[in-house]
Every structure is written in C-alpha cells, then in structure tokens.
Amino acid sequence: MEFLVSFFDNWIGGFAIMIIMSIVIAKACDIFELAADYLGRNMADGVKGATINAIGSSMPEMLTTVFFLIFYANTDIAEGFAASVGGDTGSAIFNSIFIPMLVIGMVLFTVVGVKGIKVAKKVILRDGLFLIAAEILLLILLSSDYITTWHGWVFTIFYLIYLTYTLKTMTKEEMEGDDDEEEDEEEPETWYEKFLFNKQDGRPLKAWLLLLLGTTFIAVGSAGLVRGTEFIASDLQINPLFIAFVLVAAASSVPDTIISLKDARKGNYDDALSNVLGSNIFDITISMGLPLAIYLMVTGEPIYFKEAGATLIDIRIMLLVVTVITMLVFYLSKELKWKQVSILATIYIFFIVYSLSAGAYLEGLQNPFSDAAGGFIEFLNKPGGVADSLRDVANWITGGWHK
C-alpha cells in the first residue's frame, strides 16, 4: 500500500489518477444518462436538458466540492474551498465554450445536409439570464471576508428558484405527456440497458437504482480527481486552485460533454445547449453552495476568505464576461455554424492562455503573457479598485452572517 501511495504521490501519478478517474466518471455517466433519459422521457425539449441531465452531469462538480472541503479540513480550508470554486468556475467556462463548439462542429461535420443548428431563443434567454444572475451573485458574495453557511444557502435557494421557474415553463400537455412505452425499442446491449428494459414492470424503480449506482461511481471518480489535484499541486508547488481551474474543470465536465453530444446526435439541440447552461447554473449554485452550507452548519465556524478570495477575483470576472459574450453569440445567431465554432474556439484559446499566464504570474514567473495577466490582476486588486469595491458591497450584505 505504501508503495502505491509513493508511486502516485507526484505530478505524474496525479495526472494518471485524473485520467483513470475521468474514465470512471465517463462510464458512470453512461449509466446515469440512461436512467435520466427514462425518468425525463415526458419532459419538454430544453426542460429535461436544463433539469435532469444538468443535475446528473454536474454530480462530479458537486462531489469534488465535497471532497475538497473534507480533504482540506485539517490543513487550509480556505485554499481547499477556493480550489473547489476554481473547479466549478473552470467547468462553467468549459461548458459554455468548448462543449457547444464540439457539439456544433460534430453535427455540421457528420450529419448530411445540415448546414446550421437552430436553438430555441427562449431556451437561450431563460437559461442565459439565470446563469448571468448566478454569476453576479458569485462575483459579489465570494468577495466577503468570511464565508458562512448562509452563503451556501443563498446559492442553493437561487437554484431552487431557477428549477421551479424552469418546470413551470412546461405546458399542461407537456407535463401529461404519453406514458406508454415505445413499441419499437432497440434491443438492449449493455448490462444496465438489459436491467432496465428487459421487463415492462418496475422500470421506474430500476431507473432510480441505476441513478444511484451511477452517482456512487461518480463520487469515487470525484474523490480521485481531488487526490490527483493534491498530488500535482504538492509536487509542483502550485496553488491547487489553478490545477482545479483547468484540469479538474475539464475532467469533471466529461458527463456534460457526453450527454450534450448524445442529445445532438438525436437532433435534440435545445436539450444539448440547455444541458450546458443548466449545468453551469447547477455548478456555481448547488455544486458549490449545498456542500458548503452543510459543511459549515456542521462545523459551526466560518471560513476566513479574504486572502484566498483575492486569487479568485479575475477568474470570477472572466467567467461573467465569457458568459455574456457566448450568450450574445448564441442569441444573435439565426443558426449556429462554422463561424460560431471559430468564435468559440478563439475565446477558449484566450481562456487557456490567460489561465496559464495568471498561474505563472502568481508563482513569480516572468514572460510577456504572465506580465499581461499580472497587470490585469494588479489593476483589479489595487487599493480602492474593483476588488475593494466588491468586498465593501459583500461585507455590507453578509456582515452579520458570521456573528
């Protein structure tokens, strides 16, 4: 056992763990997605993607927050929570840019006769506005000097409001649906498809059991992602926030990518995009808020976040700016074509370059890119600047929450 620990307790082992856990999460996602598809079979287009699919595919983000809080509880809880926020934020950026880019490109390249993808404007407007509101909430509240259980509950309540509104957008006819099973079901291939579909009776119960099984394996994969982050950060002497911001974000977004691609192959373009946007809302509200609320309610102690939060200001602003740009691209385009793919690719390259440059700047490395990123960070954190203004507003709102 000690040999295994020493073998993985370095940056190479950390990367290996992350790759293995990404595969585990991907396989668990297949099980979860089958069960979610069955349970959401009567939901309207765009609603299933924003609710059941989004919640299921965001389980890795929520569970990585849980494990960051647990694993860093006895060392630096503020650093651990900041890393979890970085993972959720990076995942949201990955979802907003990379997954739509991949989905649009896959459809245009593989589906004969399709020259553009149309997505319902109401889906973009509904989920996009809620997402922007959630990110403004994130930008302000995480500027507090102290993070308390009330921070977590506010984010959780926000998601419940979004979920209630989304479900209410379904018409009565859509809610009633058609409970009859399809007569031309495909022959089950995998063991979990056979488990669910071989018999007509008891399918809802079996779907919930598969949902639970998928969640369990996703939890295992999420714990592995956090351990891999620890090993890489410790060996390379890098703040785990930046490992989480890029690597954990991409690895935990595997389910979102798989589900969106499968929806797109079926022609469910509204679900493919609403899954991405709904997942982002879930990531920065429930995935972060609910574990935080429960953890701090149990411990009874707030997290002193002034220093750790200062490393997040540029990331949170970048998330908001990227979201506004991508929502404008989606909303103003009559169809999503190769032009939109190029725009998204350019934004994502900028995101990666900035992330690496900001990490290099904070680690004391100097080059033209890190100097540019450092200039932006210093501008935000100068006395009386953006960071101080956000902190004043946040402390005014939350000042009594930690007393």
Amino acid 171: pLDDT:
53
* Cα distance between residue 204 and residue 37, in whole Å: 11
User: Is residue 181 a part of any domain in this protein?
Assistant: no
User: Is residue 20 a part of any domain in this protein?
Assistant: yes
Q: How many domains does the chain have?
A: 1
| Mean pLDDT of the 279-288 span | 87
Q: Which residues contact 134 (CB under 8 A, 6 or more apart)?
A: 155, 158, 159, 162, 280, 281, 284, 285
User: Is residue 161 a part of any domain in this protein?
Assistant: yes
- 60: domain range? 2-175+186-398
User: Is residue 180 a part of any domain in this protein?
Assistant: no
User: Is residue 223 a part of any domain in this protein?
Assistant: yes
User: Is residue 403 a part of any domain in this protein?
Assistant: no
Amino acid 179: pLDDT:
47
Where helices occur in 337-385 by DSSP H, the ranges are 338-362, 368-381
pLDDT at residue 219 greater than cutoff 50? yes
Sign of CA dihedral 70, 64, 251, 89: negative
CATH of the domain at 314: 1.20.1420.30
**For residue range 64-109, what is the model confidence (pLDDT) as tens digits?**
888 888 888 888 898 888 888 888 888 888 888 888 888 888 888 8
pLDDT at residue 260 greater than cutoff 90? no
User: Is residue 197 a part of any domain in this protein?
Assistant: yes
pLDDT at residue 172 greater than cutoff 70? no
| Mean pLDDT of the 341-356 span | 88
Amino acid 45: pLDDT:
55
Q: What is the mean pLDDT of the chain?
A: 82
Amino acid 189: pLDDT:
74
